[in-house]
Structure formats: structure tokens, C-alpha cells
Amino acid sequence: MQSFTEENYLKIIYHLAESSSNVQTNAIAEQMQTKPASVTDMIKKLAEKGYVDYVKYQGVTLTEKGKNAAIDIVRKHRLWEVFLVDKLNFKWDEVHDVAEELEHIKSETLIERLDEFLGFPKSDPHGDPIPDKNGRFAKTHFTKLIDLKVGDGGTITGVSQHSSAFLKLLEKLGLTLGKQIKINDVTDFDGSVEILVADKQINISREVAKHILISSNGKN
């Protein structure tokens, strides 16, 4: 199998590949908090081991093997997050760093039993889908709150930002998973959005609205 570092690279490449098919060296470096030169080295190693396809100066794509390995890590990460929140009463903004460590524990039995213990959850505390043991999971197609029109409504079903600062803010604003919202107005000047949640009217910045994912349950 792979080292912690290799696993982290695979996971990051996997996430970056969701938005652009060819993942760039610099993008990986930024996510890994390391230097592009180091990324080039690691990419070569991952290519040798058959986890990525790599053409010099053209970025990388995951092979089937690499994708499976990445999904496996994502599965572990998300299951551990559920454990921390459901069983150990962590808040959704406290789980990321610990899950980041737990995801590297290498025991298939452990993760299958954990999955069962948690009742085979389908999504993690941030609304992200949890792959099953075969790596399969429903493609979720949420709408970003920022893309809704005035009058549209829906349910908060995910976030695309896992930083503690962001999640704490949502918590404070009452914008947690499952909450119903409705777009009341979009401010011309700064693009901030006026929304109705739990009968209260609040205003959120574009930046915040970008990272809230809605499953729109109908226009009006």
C-alpha cells in the first residue's frame, strides 16, 4: 500500500480532479502546503507505481487504481467524521483535522465494522456522500446557493468549504444541514443574498453563499 504522504497526494488529486480533469502541479502544491518542486518528485513516484498518468508539463490524472485508492481514503475520512459527530459529540467544525489523521489507519476490518456500527451512513456531517465498500456512491448534484434566483427555495444539504471559521459562522447563522431556506432578495451593490431561514431574514455575503449547497425543492 501507500505511505501517509502518498495517500494525501492521491486524495488531493482526486478532489482537484472534480473541477478540472488535468490537475496542475501548482494546484497540488497549494493544497499540500508544499512546494511545486516537491510535487513534481512525488508525481513521478505515483506515476511509477501506477496511481497516476503523467506527462511532463501537462499535469496528472488518476488511473483507475489511483482513483480507487483515493475513494477508499475519502470513505475512511467521512466515516470517521460521522463517528466523531454521532458518537463522540464533536461539532461539525471540529472534525476535519482529526479525521485527517484517522483516515490513514490501515485495517479493512476496522472500517467495515465502523461502517456497520454507524448504521451505514450515506453522508458525512458536511453533507458529502460516503462511498460504500465498493467505492460506489450517488452522484450528488446540488445547486450552489449563490446560483439560485429570487423566490427559489430549498434545503441546505451540503457545504463546499470545511474550514472551522466558515462552519462556525454557518452554525451561528442557523444555516445547518437540513434547514429550509428561501431567497428573498439579491443586493445589487455587493451581490450579497437576503434569505429566509426559520422565519428569520438574514443577509449573507456572496463568499458565504458560494459555499452553501442546496437541493432545490422547487421554484415558486
Quote the CA–CA distance of 130 and 136 in Å, as a whole number: 8
Q: Does 1 bind DNA (CB under 7 A)?
A: no
Minimum distance from residue 6 beta carbon to its own copies (Å):
16
Q: Does 146 bind DNA (CB under 7 A)?
A: no
Of positions 19, 109, 134, 220, contacts its own copies by CB under 8 A? 109
Q: Which is nearer to its own copies, 70 or 114 (CB)?
A: 114
Q: Which is nearer to DNA, 28 or 74 (CB)?
A: 28
User: Mask 72-101, x = binds its own copies (CB under 8 A)?
Assistant: ------------x--xxxx---x--xx--x
Minimum distance from residue 99 beta carbon to DNA (Å):
19
Helices 64-82 and 4-17: crossing angle in degrees, nearest 10, is: 100
Range in contact with DNA (rule: CB under 7 A) among 12-20, 33-41, 112-120, 204-212: 33-41
Range in contact with DNA (rule: CB under 7 A) among 35-43, 97-105, 107-115, 172-180: 35-43
Q: Does 165 bind DNA (CB under 7 A)?
A: no
Of positions 43, 82, 204, 209, contacts DNA by CB under 7 A? 43
Q: Does 117 bind its own copies (CB under 8 A)?
A: yes
- Binding residues vs DNA (CB under 7 A): 3, 5-6, 24-27, 32-45, 54, 56-57, 59
